[in-house]
């Protein structure tokens, strides 16, 4: 039996597969971490083995996929696309931070920031060098609903104003379209993406048009508003 969020993920992928406008280049459904048990048991295992106490609010998006990935492009305009590559929290937290993120080449402040990153989503095809991570502080005694950060190898780390579960639910709405994460960043932190010369702003507008056409029952108005606000703030 799948959890509620697992059902939502699988349903989203099946819906995309049935749409002629989508070219699904890769879909990968890894094994379920059934050893984790239910939501409460999984948080208990993480607390015991990783010494990370996560807030129970994170149960609302609980999934056990060690690897769940989708990569798609529009058939009519192959420049439009998206992808995600999810792993469940136990894998993300236990695997720690990749060594290259704390290498000496980074300034000390960035190394300290990166040290808390636990990657749970990445874009290895079209978004090489990008990932989303929760940030685990080095000294935290309270149950955590961790910050979510988005990393771009060119532009560095950007804090998002959504939490982990918000991220996963936005992933469903956006179908993992490229750059959607920047709609949830502080406008001043991503001004290079939303100024008058930005191709990212134009690209996001085209993607939201495409998604609105394909999924007319979905409301993309809040995302369009975020795009407008970020362009206006950096014009």
Residue 115 is predicted with a pLDDT of: 96
Q: By three-state DSSP, how is residue 72 classified? A: strand
Whole-model pTM over 0.75: yes
The kind and range of the H/E element at 164 are helix 164-174
Give the CATH fold of the 4-181 domain. Answer: SMI1/KNR4-like (3.40.1580)
The kind and range of the H/E element at 119 are strand 117-122
Residue 136 is predicted with a pLDDT of: 95
Domain boundaries, the chain: 4-181
Q: What is the pLDDT along the chain (235 residues), one digit of tens a residue?
A: 899 999 999 999 999 999 999 999 999 999 999 999 999 999 999 999 999 999 999 999 999 999 999 999 999 999 999 999 999 999 999 999 999 999 999 999 999 999 999 999 999 998 668 999 999 998 767 899 999 999 998 888 999 999 999 999 999 999 999 999 999 999 888 887 777 557 889 999 999 999 999 999 999 999 999 999 998 887 7
- Rounded-to-integer distance, Cα 95 and Cα 221, Å: 37
- The separation between the first and the last C-alpha atoms of the chain, rounded to the nearest angstrom, is 49
Residue 214 is predicted with a pLDDT of: 98
- Rounded-to-integer distance, Cα 77 and Cα 203, Å: 12
The Cβ-side half-sphere exposure at 38, using a 13 Å CA radius, reads 2
Token pair of 24 as six digits:
């699904």
- Rounded-to-integer distance, Cα 149 and Cα 138, Å: 16
- Rounded-to-integer distance, Cα 6 and Cα 12, Å: 10
DSSP string, 149-189: EEEETTTEEEEBSS-HHHHHHHHHHHTTBTTGGGGGB-GGG
Token pair of 21 as six digits:
């406008």
Sign of CA dihedral 122, 67, 133, 214: positive
Residue 188 is predicted with a pLDDT of: 83
Residue 190 is predicted with a pLDDT of: 81
């Amino acid at each position: 039996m799948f959890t509620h969020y697992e059902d939502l993920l699988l349903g989203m992928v099946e819906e995309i597969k049935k749409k002629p406008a989508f070219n699904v280049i890769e879909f990968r459904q890894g094994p379920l971490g059934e050893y984790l048990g239910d939501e409460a048991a999984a948080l208990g295992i993480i607390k015991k083995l990783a010494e990370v106490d996560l807030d129970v609010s994170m149960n609302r998006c609980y999934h056990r996929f060690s690897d769940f990935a989708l990569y798609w492009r529009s058939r009519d305009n192959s420049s439009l696309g998206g992808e995600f590559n999810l792993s469940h929290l136990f894998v993300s937290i236990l695997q720690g931070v990749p060594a290259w993120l704390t290498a000496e080449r980074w300034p000390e402040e960035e190394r300290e920031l990166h040290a808390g990153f636990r990657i749970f989503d990445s874009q290895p095809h079209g978004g090489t060098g990008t990932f989303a991570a929760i940030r685990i502080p080095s000294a935290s005694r309270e149950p955590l609903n961790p910050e979510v950060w988005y990393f771009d190898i060119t532009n560095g780390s950007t804090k998002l104003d959504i939490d982990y579960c918000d991220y996963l639910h936005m992933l469903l709405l956006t179908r993992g379209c490229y750059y959607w994460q920047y709609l949830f960043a502080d406008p001043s932190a991503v001004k290079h993406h939303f100024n008058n010369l930005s191709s990212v702003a134009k690209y996001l507008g085209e993607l939201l048009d495409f998604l609105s056409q394909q999924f007319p029952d979905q409301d993309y108005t809040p995302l369009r508003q975020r795009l407008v606000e970020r362009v206006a703030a950096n014009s």
